[in-house]
A and B are shown apart, each in its own frame.
Chain A
Amino acid sequence: MEDPCSISTISDGCWVVFQKGTYLKLTKITQKPYMLGKRRESVSIHLSSAIGQPYGSTFQMVCSNDKKRIYYLQCLTWEEISNYDLKRETANEASAFDNRNLLGDGSSQKLTMEEIMALKKSGASGEEVIQAITANSTTFSSKTKYSQQKYVDKKGKKHAELIVIHKPTIDLIAEAMFFQGPRTVSYLRPDSLYQLLSYSNVYPGSRVAVYDSGTQGLVTAALLHRLGAAGRLVHVYAGEKALKYTYFTSAVTAMNFDDDTFSALSFLHINRLHKVKKPEKTLDTTLEPLVIDPRLLRPDAPMDVTDNGTQEQPHGKRKHDQDEKADKPCARRKAPLMELYMELKNHGGRCMHLSETWLRELQVLPERTHPLVNMSGGGGFLLTGTKVCDEDQK
């Protein structure tokens, strides 16, 4: 039976990523209204009105009760979206007109979707269409101005941003969670997570063990996505609380994984780690051995990825985990990783790198391109390395 959440339309009970401008939030589609905004100005939106539309559709908020500020969502067509954007741009420009420090920017007029479609209908060849849309916008400026007039919103309504309901993919989840509060994911910035995913060499069907706490299951969900149904992911946890419980309210749940992928995930308490049996030394080439062979990796704090390694954890790793437990973990610290670096180096760790990534976003607009004024100061440290064969350690 097809899981309603794995198909490509928004359905009841599914997790989605709600986007309004730069605002991103992970939420569930229910019959209850979604509260948006701070207490006094908050509005309630009936997300259930989006059910049946494809993921990634764009919606307009339509007021159904002005006093109670209740809205529902109305799906927009392509023509509506492009007209809507144009209206907003025109409105912005009109308001900017009197500001002498701003550039009156006629050069940024763009071809509308409608015009592209009209051009296609008029029998223009594909190449001509491309030429038209890639050519300098001035060629079309008169035409654009005409259509602009047509769409100028005479009533001068406020232009609220449109809403997009996305399928929860790992990048959108990581971003939404970091956006909602870096602390909720132990300051693991999405780009650091992405580096971790590369360096841990996870691939469909590989075997991975992870120690991941304090990230709302973000690392686990990301690994599970990369592993697919053919993989094996052992989630090593510490503490008394059955982690499974918290698990089902996390990024792992939000991914709407199918049953096959979900069954790749199993749990193991850290105190039982020593019990994991060594794999038999067969030459079965279809499965990777459960030994920390190619890659060993952990970012700072509660996350820990060890590619194909549930046992043979160097002593240092375990000790480190305990340190972290005693001391409130924080992904922003690098000192624990420096110590771990040294310990792992003495336990067969080679090709070790301690690093951090620097991420900067840019505003790109004609004549107004510059890096964003604010950027994140730190998104976690990452220690990567390769564990070599044991013979060497003696």
Chain B
Amino acid sequence: MTFDKFHKIIKECDTVILYFNNTQTYALEVTKTVKNRHGQQVPHVFQSMYGALKVESLVGLQFGCRVQLATGAGYIFYPTPELWTLTLPHRTQILYTTDISMVIARLNIGPGSVVCEAGTGSGSLSHAILRTVGPTGHLHTADFHEQRWLAAADEFKRHGLNDRVTTYWRDVCTLGWPVTEVADAVFLDLPRPWLALPHAVNAVKLNGGRICSFSPCIEQVSRTCELMRSLGLQNVTTLEVLTRELQVLHSDMPVIDITPDDRPNLKELEMSAGESDAKRPKLSADIESSQEGSEDCNVTESEKSDLSAIALTKEVPSPIFNGEGRTKSKSILSAYPKLTQAGHTGYLTFCIVPPGLPRPVSTPVV
């Protein structure tokens, strides 16, 4: 019962987030016992990398507190929808916060909004919607998969969200939602969203609202957009949004200590000027042109060629080492991009249902 109203002290039946680090984060329900594999009630103990946690012992502690386990410590966080999305039990593919943020904002969801959703899936998006609509809003969410529907309904109840959500076991492509002309916004995450689109329009309030459809494939988007325009929906916009995460840390960077060395170079005697001219690689062009302008520059032709050699080969003894013959380094604060990151989640297509739009379906829904 933690998602409906904020409180500071952990109670029994709360869902809490146990955080060790960004990859080891878990959602726990604070109960005395849990069912084991054989259906027997056993004491609720969470086994982590750092030791076992008797979950009941969290009761009475404050959110944000540190918990010491056998070989390491973690923190107990309040379950925000963002943390829930990272830790929830997956029953389907889910939406993540980057897309969710876009969906909620562009559907203009706020306190008191009425939203229709299909399919419920694992309820990742639903939790974020439910936070934003608050106790005065409502979510009508449908899924045609019975187990998922039951699991989601049970989850909402345990999270204290029952009053602001109605779950339906229903095929929205043929039946739509049992409510019409009530929604400020409709969200579709279905394999064939175009089939549900006329019902989605029907669900929207007569004075207008918003619709969004999420599809991983462009073919689905194509059909959806075409139909959206045919139905008279406006501002049809398709976009992709991704998060680029940066790792912040101090790291060492080698610093080359350049000490100008004016001693004549022995090598120049062994090389004729003409020869070196012919051999001169392209790379020297920069060095050369930068020197040409200065009249009183006492760099000889052959020295120039030597400079170009330094630029190309490592063997040439050069003045790049400092007195002690090793490079220095300094610590700099850096932000590294991740080596791999999500490159595609899906396309989000938004549109506006204008006020007074004629409704495509007039049949009373069963």
Contact = CB atoms under 8 A, between A and B. Distances in A.
B240 interface: yes
Contacts of B105: 170-171, 174, 190, 193-194, 197
Interface in B61-97: 62-66, 75, 77-78, 80-82, 97
Contacts of B151: none
B195 A362 contact: no
Given A78-B232, A351-B22, A171 B248 contact: no
B101 A133 contact: no
A228 B355 contact: no
Contacts of B221: 362, 364, 369
Given A197-B105, A228-B111, A355 B226 contact: no
Contact of A204 (B62, B135, B243, B248): B135
Given A285-B7, A289-B8, A228 B112 contact: yes
Interface string A105-149: 000101101001100100001110110011001000000000000
B349 interface: yes
A295 interface: yes
Interface residues of A, number: 91
Interface residues of B, number: 87
B357 interface: yes
Contacts of B194: 134
Residue among A201, A283, A391 with the highest chain B CB neighbour number at 10 A: A201
Interface string B217-242: 01001100111011110111111111
A356 B136 CA distance: 33
B245 to A, nearest CB: 5
Contacts of A338: 248, 333-335
B144 interface: no
B358 to A, nearest CB: 6
Interface stretch (B32-40, B126-134, B308-316): B126-134
Given A126-B363, A129-B361, A191-B101, A386 B239 contact: no
B156 interface: no
A133 B227 contact: yes
Contact of A197 (B101, B137, B349): B101
A323 interface: no
A111 B6 CA distance: 50
A179 interface: no
Given A133-B227, A203-B131, A358 B242 contact: yes
A56 interface: yes
Contacts of A341: 248
A213 interface: no
B227 A201 contact: no
Contacts, number: 242
Contacts of A351: 19, 22, 25, 77
Contacts of B66: 388-389, 391-392
Nearest to B3: A203
Contacts of A360: 239-241
A198 B108 contact: no
A320 interface: no
A120 B362 contact: yes
A110 B352 contact: no
A204 B111 contact: yes
Contacts of B352: 56, 166
Nearest to A19: B235
A270 to B, nearest CB: 25
A37 to B, nearest CB: 21
B242 A194 contact: no
B319 interface: no
A226 B110 contact: yes
A386 B362 contact: no
Interface of B: 5-9, 19, 22, 25, 62-66, 75, 77-78, 80-82, 97-98, 100-102, 104-106, 108, 110-112, 128, 131-137, 174, 194-195, 197-198, 207-208, 218, 221-222, 225-227, 229-232, 234-248, 250, 333-335, 347, 349, 352, 354-358, 360-363
9 contacts: A56-B207, A108-B226, A174-B105, A339-B333, A342-B333, A355-B245, A361-B239, A364-B222, A392-B75
Given A116-B360, A227-B111, A353-B22, 5 more contacts: A55-B208, A285-B8, A293-B64, A357-B244, A364-B221
Interface of A: 8, 19, 54-58, 78, 81-82, 85, 108, 110-111, 113, 116-117, 120, 125-127, 129-130, 133-134, 137, 164, 166, 169-171, 174, 190-191, 193-195, 197-199, 201, 203-206, 225-230, 283, 285-286, 288-289, 293-295, 334-335, 338-339, 341-342, 350-366, 369, 371, 381, 386-389, 391-392
Nearest first, the 6 A-B pairs at minimum CB distance are A126-B363, A204-B134, A228-B111, A204-B111, A194-B105, A54-B355
